[in-house]
Amino acid sequence: MSNVKTIPQGYLKVQIILHWIVVILIGSQYLFKNTIASAWDTIRSGEDFAFHPLILLHVVGGSLILIFMVWRLVLRVRYGVPASPENDHAIFKVISRIVHVAFYVVLILMSLSGLAAWFGDVVLAAQAHNILKVVLLALIAMHILAVPFHHIVLKSPIMKRMTTSGD
Ligand code: HEM
Ligand code: HEM
């Protein structure tokens, strides 16, 4: 492997696998959020909460998301990501770059705020966690809508970029 950084032709297999694992983990965080949210309310009202496996799932799932996002960030910085599709208008290139980078920032902050709330009892961190969950949903909506938009309007099959690796 050469040390010279060039723009890659496609995402690495490891980048693709991590992308889809994180998608599943995020889905599970939203799907099973109620148990940890009600345990949190119980703690805030000064009572003891009953242990539930879904609480552990949220803590472990969220921590894995943090580890995987840091790993992906290292890969992005060291290896890079492919250039935007050629027929993308400049404005879409900018928007997609902003959304992609925002995912890293929001997911890392979301995990850290969850950990600070749960293990440090920081109420402000729980409030931040609750605001970030809405920001993350907005990013996901934009990100998912971009797929049919690229396929139908811009006629560029971007889905292939996250299913077929460049290595
Ligand atoms: C990126 C990863 C994470 C996502 C997407 C996520 C998502 C969520 C969502 C959607 C809620 C429900 C909030 C509500 O409607 O009441 C929630 C609550 C909560 N999460 Fe996470 N979470 C993540 C990581 C973590 C981690 C690592 C912890 C650490 C233990 C954690 C601790 C909590 C706590 C304590 C609550 C209850 C807060 C409250 O209801 O005010 N989260 N999370
Ligand atoms: C739900 C959570 C999701 C998150 C947090 C997420 C995050 C990301 C990020 C950060 C990238 C940029 C590449 C990288 O840095 O690895 C990316 C690329 C991509 N994602 Fe997602 N994604 C999610 C869901 C999805 C879903 C559901 C689809 C398909 C419907 C999808 C399809 C794609 C595609 C096709 C690319 C490549 C875009 C390109 O570079 O041209 N993603 N995603």
Q: Assign 86 a pLDDT band (cuts: 50, 70, 90).
A: confident
CA dist., res. 166 & res. 160, Å (int): 11
What distance in angstroms lies between residue 19's CA and the mean position of ligand 2's atoms?
Answer: 7
Q: What letter would DSSP give residue 152?
A: I
Residue at token pair 């599709």? 85
Q: Is the CB of 25 under 6 A from ligand 1?
A: no
The more confidently predicted of residues 131 and 87 is 131
% residues pLDDT > 90 (the chain): 89
The pLDDT value given to residue 14: 98
The whole-number pLDDT of residue 3 equals 52
Pocket flag, ligand 2, residue 21 (CB < 6 Å):
no
What residue's CA is closest to ligand 1, atom 24?
62
pLDDT one-digit tens code per residue, 16-41: 999 999 999 999 999 999 999 999 99
Rounded Cα–Cα distance for residues 5 and 80 (Å): 8
Task: Give the pLDDT mean for 116-125.
Answer: 98
Is the CB of residue 150 below 6 angstroms from any atom belonging to ligand 2? no
Q: Which atom of ligand 2 is nearest to the CA of 101?
A: 10
**Shortest-distance Cα residue to atom 2 of ligand 1:** 62
State the pLDDT confidence band at 7, using cuts at 50, 70 and 90.
Answer: confident
- Ligand 1 pocket test: pick from 24, 28, 36 the residue with the most ligand atoms within 8 Å of its Cβ: 36
R_g (Cα) of the chain, nearest Å: 18
What average pLDDT does the chain have? 95
Q: Measure 41 CA to ligand 2 centroid, in angstroms.
A: 33
For residues 111-130, average pLDDT:
98
User: Is residue 111 exposed (0-12), middle (13-18) or buried (19+ Cβ within 10 Å)?
Assistant: buried
